[in-house]
Amino acid sequence: MKDKKLLIVGELNVDLILNDIGGFPKIGTEIVANQMDFTLGSSSAIMASNISVMGTKTAFCGKIGLDRFGEFVQGELKKKNVDTRFISNSQNHKTGITVVMNYDQDRANVTYCGAMEDLTIKDIPWDTLGQYDHLHLSNYFLQKGIQKDIIQVFKQAKEAGLTTSLDLQVDPENKWNFDYKNVLPFVDIFLPNQSELLGLTGMKNLESAIAEIKPYVNTIVVKMGYEGAMLISEDKKYTLKPFLNKKFRDAIGAGDSFNAGFIHEYLKEASWEECLENANLMGSLSTTFAGGTAAFTSTDEIQEKKQQIQKKEL
């Protein structure tokens, strides 16, 4: 079986992560954070970086500004062997940045979208799409330039013979204006978390949300945090408890690492159970370091840490 190639279309930004914070910010006051990390951010880039280290041949399509943050983002992806030739420069905006304020298991984010809003359907390398086997898109609500063409993006990818996946992420405006009835039939794997699925469907509980969306999805994988994950495909349902570890640092990028672990196995034509298990393991591994990518350094080390997590040694 040949190695399948992945194209990720998405947003790019840096993360400024603050930990051990003395309270919550209030207008007219100043508080102190005792720890700080500066890392590669964005759901799409974290997934690209981590799945590339796992061994999946990955290319990225996105926008950055003509600035040092953009140079940093592109450099970090190149270090992880991500093909960056489809990353272009915005002439109108700076590279995006997210300020992350961590509070135990939860966090508050402030994001400047910048160049990510300039990405459009025209930036996707349609002429060379046949070189790839799968297209993934993350963080729909932050990418205003691509929203109006989202149906066409997935429709054209399917027509080109690619499998597809989507992680919507949260809607900062809490409007959830996403035409899932017409988009999701062109998406092979839909990867929301539980909160996002409830927001999208307007339902009060997970069971009702799944019942609402099931007629339109092919396969849905729901990330449920400490409750693990659930997969529903046609009439089959799989659930798996999370893999907890003893070295929790933060949950930034855990969902994106989950996505990476799942799609990595999916492209190897693994079973749904194997895809779900690897996804949960990669999500757990991500939390052992600050930021979304620091835990993923080499294929061999990932395999070693996977075994440690499974044996509850990490």
Mean pLDDT of 160-165: 98
User: What's the distance, Cα to Cα, between the start and end of the chain in Å?
Assistant: 33
Ordered structural domains, the chain, with CATH: 44-92+116-310 (3.40.1190.20)
Which pLDDT does position 106 carry in this prediction? 77
Each residue of 164-193: pLDDT tens digit? 999 999 999 999 999 999 999 999 999 999
The two tokens of residue 8 are 């990720």
d(Cα 52, Cα 302) in Å, to the nearest integer?
12
Look-up: residue for tokens 């039939």?
A: 185
DSSP 195-251: HHHHHHHT-SSHHHHHHHHGGG-SEEEEE-GGG-EEEEETTEEEEE-----S-----
Burial of 94 (0-12, 13-18, 19+ CB in 10 A): middle
d(Cα 234, Cα 177) in Å, to the nearest integer?
26
Polymer length in residues for the chain: 314
For Cα atoms 303, 262, 299, give the angle at the middle one, nearest 5 degrees. 25
d(Cα 168, Cα 91) in Å, to the nearest integer?
26
DSSP 158-205: HHTT-EEEEE----TTS-----HHHHGGG-SEE--BHHHHHHHHT-SS
With b for 16 or more beta-carbon neighbours within 10 A and e for fewer, the 258-269 pattern comes to: bbbbbbbbbbee
Mean pLDDT of 227-236: 94
For Cα atoms 281, 282, 283, give the angle at the middle one, nearest 5 degrees. 90
Q: What is the pTM (predicted TM-score) of this model?
A: 0.95
Which pLDDT does position 12 carry in this prediction? 97
Confidence of residue 314 (pLDDT cuts 50, 70, 90): confident
Cα separation values, 91 from 66, 81, 96, 261, Å? 7, 26, 13, 34
Chain mean pLDDT for the chain: 95
> Does the pLDDT value for residue 131 go beyond 80?
yes
Each residue of 232-287: pLDDT tens digit? 998 899 999 989 888 888 888 999 999 999 999 999 999 999 999 999 999 999 99
DSSP 82-102: -EEEEEEE-SS-PPEEEEEEE
With b for 16 or more beta-carbon neighbours within 10 A and e for fewer, the 134-149 pattern comes to: bbbbbbbbbbebbbee
Three-state secondary structure call for residue 74? helix
